[in-house]
Structure 1
């Protein structure tokens, strides 16, 4: 019997386990470092946290949910959905909680996994599904350790920290910050937002789903398929804009410009929130509340560079010290550092971190030469800037299930050959070199400037390319 270990019990890990169970594999264990499943939806509990992809699409195709409360549901609702799916699909019983993986080494025939407590586990197939957004990125700011008040990242929100009546400093203007700031503005005594670059925003077409709609979805599931298809069609417009389609770009830019001019009347603030970077080089953000929040008298947007954190606030390059009681990092994640801090050793003692020294890469974002029976979920260049990443998870899970079937049938390790992996990587990087993502520094790129997270084409292309495992590509 083929022994399989999946690292991580978020959307990707659950998708992989569900597909393997469907294919008849039973010796599966999910190693989860936390005491609850959910990944980012377990970890991110900051005020205002919600999905920025419409719920009809941000769900498994094989487990559409008739009970979403709205088009962009809050994090707790998404977490509950994932937990329900895991239970109904038989995945929950396979999870070993509070088990953090420290390393994994190929011994010539199997993977030996070591946990942070020293426990060892031997399996035939290893499937890391730790995600790209699991390790918060916190900038090193001079004086931060001397700050007198609480400090926290949005992904490690401390509910015991009082927000009401206090001065809050928020560093960053990414996807988390644009949800957090409107949620705490008016509750905090004052909010100061520190911005490095202005994000592109567009109106968020959110709406509540009433009881009649939910009842119709339960009675006629085909209606959910129609809603999902319509949502998919809308994401194609944004995807085309990011890809450089001139008509789509004009449409999205027009929406963004109209939103800024409608919601921001102060010329100075309007200048600050007007993006200078190309549309799409960072994630386009959906929001109706961000710009009105910045327009409040109790919210300041600071664009001067932070030079130091003082015991009582933040000092910027213009010499002004901005007092605050609580410091919040809305600074995203170390997405380019795949699998860190897990130490993975492949064939002939090769370290994966050494193979990825110039930047993470994998054939179809799933397999790496020199690492037999290692298959990644949400690996390099499988992120999407405009549609649901769960669609990619499902594609990877189906591909991996084919690979595991091959391993089981032949009773031999499966390793991608160097030639197809190299040809594939060159193709992807060539396509990415001409993309909008090279126009600015973002979490899509590593320190050397290589785009390591994003897929350069349409999601449908990725689905096609992962539909069938080509046995000729493997040893």
Structure 2
């Protein structure tokens, strides 16, 4: 009881620290000045002083109310046989993690700190997840660099406000190497099936490993099965006539770009050789397309962009960080933390202002912020770009779809060698693409910027729970999980970046951290509780959570009427229904009473 009270007190003092930083910098005037003018002196003065004051307040709370020696609770591991420092990658680890992106890396770092043995499987030949395979020209992040990193591993070497793919991959690779995680990774190994073995309270995880040109079967057995495959891992190609084998030129998905530089990044000019002096058709106008099109337009003889739905696109003020600033980040860590919190707070404020469905602020921000670039870069509706303006202006509610960031998308569309087509693609023929108006758009190369199978969560793995239940069959058309992490009847299985945890306003890295920490609390509970070998969330707790999520979602712009990859019919199984602050609060403490417990001796105890 005392320990639980202490944990809550510490969580409360941490909340006060965050809230102090949040409100000490909550001046919209300062934020607009910082964002558009690049002048950060005033905002950082507020942040720096506010952070110092709030840290002092937090320390006073700690020292005044927490007994000496109890500030850090000792963590008991599962024993010497599971020491991750000695076992490395093995067939019988305590935990198997699927995926080596940010989610898998975060989980591995947390487990290593606990002294838990783990193995990470990766279906690709290299680590890095989505940032290893998306090597298309212009690949970059649309979340500020300071936020797109772990809070416990800040990076003082970001060279710009929004980092590109090589810089992000370097950050990931550095953490794997510096923390000796690479020995735990097995690449070219794809999980095909995972089965809960009830009598043993373990997971049997079946994989296919590519060795040369051969496929060999590999089986892991583990107490815990953690998926970190993300929602954007399997490319989606339109299901239209002729898309598979009719076209005589070269065609590929943006996540499968056919050429890459020697270092596995998008930085080489050779990346554009596949489209240089060619007629190119880009299918799609979403997050990948707005990065690819400006680069391809520079070298292609002609570029046709087929757009299904226009997006709200906000100016991307990608400020370059000077060596002096990076030095300040290295030697003044609180300054770097203030920089991170300023972006986090800005995103949270924007979410509160813009996310409410049919609100005045949503409409106001849509017209002022969401459409400001159209007017600034393309002129008046009655001017020479009037037809193009009508094509790129969204006719749906702001924030219903993912808001994008770019400063060169509209200029690229105005180039003489670029044509924007709003008729849908109906067929792929030998020499190009046919649209719904009957026009054939000839091409030497077709690039599909058509996204991923995001709503097919955990595709294509087949996962069997208690009694042989198949997870995808249980989900049907609505993936769901408690806090986006745990399912009933699937004990000791955690999902990172699971259902209803995607964000439209902030960094998914924050979500991954809180989820990994929550899973670690569950693992620790199982270790320390007698006669408990596994946990799974109770069905009624999951049901109540989903009802809460749906009720919250219906109030948000994400649920408005638009064509979005977040949705399946009328449901939105991907998007988070709260701010990152509220999600953090919901996942601060593992509540054992919300879970069924299992043991090898008694199978299930409620």
Deviations 1:157-212 (A, max 9, x none): 11176211001100001000000001111211111000111111111121111111
Alpha-carbon distance in 1 for matches of 2:363, 2:508: 22
Match of 1:154 in 2: 254
Alpha-carbon distance in 2 for matches of 1:87, 1:253: 46
- Asked whether 1:85 is paired with 2:175, we answer yes
Please tell me whether Structure 1 or Structure 2 has the larger radius of gyration of its CA atoms. 2
Match of 1:106 in 2: 196
Match of 1:193 in 2: 305
Instruction: Find the residue that maps to 2:195 and give its secondary structure.
Output: strand
Deviations 1:197-239 (A, max 9, x none): 1111111121111111111111111111011011112212431
- Deviating runs (4+, > 6 A) in structure 1? none
8 Å CA contact 2:499–2:574 kept in 1: the answer is yes
Moved more, 243-252 or 58-67: 243-252
In the alignment of these two chains, the number of paired residues is 473
Alpha-carbon distance in 2 for matches of 1:428, 1:118: 40
**2:435 counterpart (316, 323, 329):** 316
- Asked whether 1:456 is paired with 2:573, we answer no
Match of 1:246 in 2: 360
Deviations 1:332-390 (A, max 9, x none): 11101011110000011111011111310000110000001011111100111110000
Unaligned runs of at least 5 residues, structure 1? none
Change (3 A) 1:406 1:91: same
Alpha-carbon distance in 1 for matches of 2:371, 2:575: 26
Write the mapping of 1:379-458 to structure 2, written as runs, cut at 5 A: 379-410=498-529, 411-438=532-559, 439-446=561-568, 448-458=569-579
Alpha-carbon distance in 2 for matches of 1:189, 1:135: 30
Match of 1:288 in 2: 407
- Asked whether 1:257 is paired with 2:371, we answer yes
RMSD: 1.4
**2:461 counterpart (317, 339, 342):** 342
Instruction: Find the residue that maps to 1:152 and give its secondary structure.
Output: strand
**2:101 counterpart (2, 6, 10):** 10
TM-score, normalised to structure 2, is: 0.76
Alpha-carbon distance in 2 for matches of 1:125, 1:24: 14
Write the mapping of 1:71-220 to structure 2, written as runs, cut at 5 A: 71-108=161-198, 109-116=201-208, 117-144=216-243, 145-159=245-259, 162-220=274-332
8 Å CA contact 2:355–2:399 kept in 1: the answer is yes
Moved more, 287-296 or 91-100: 91-100
Unaligned runs of at least 5 residues, structure 2? 1-77, 83-93, 209-215, 260-270, 380-384, 597-606
Alpha-carbon distance in 1 for matches of 2:290, 2:475: 33
How far did 1:101 drift? 0.5
8 Å CA contact 1:242–1:249 kept in 2: the answer is no
TM-score, normalised to structure 1, is: 0.97
Deviations 1:214-272 (A, max 9, x none): 11111111111011011112212431312345336523530232210121141000100
Alpha-carbon distance in 2 for matches of 1:210, 1:197: 38
Change (3 A) 1:249 1:232: farther
Alpha-carbon distance in 2 for matches of 1:187, 1:467: 50
Match of 2:126 in 1: 36
Q: Compare relative contact order (CA 8 Å, sep 6+) and give the higher one, 1 or 2.
A: 1
Instruction: Find the residue that maps to 1:401 and give its secondary structure.
Output: helix
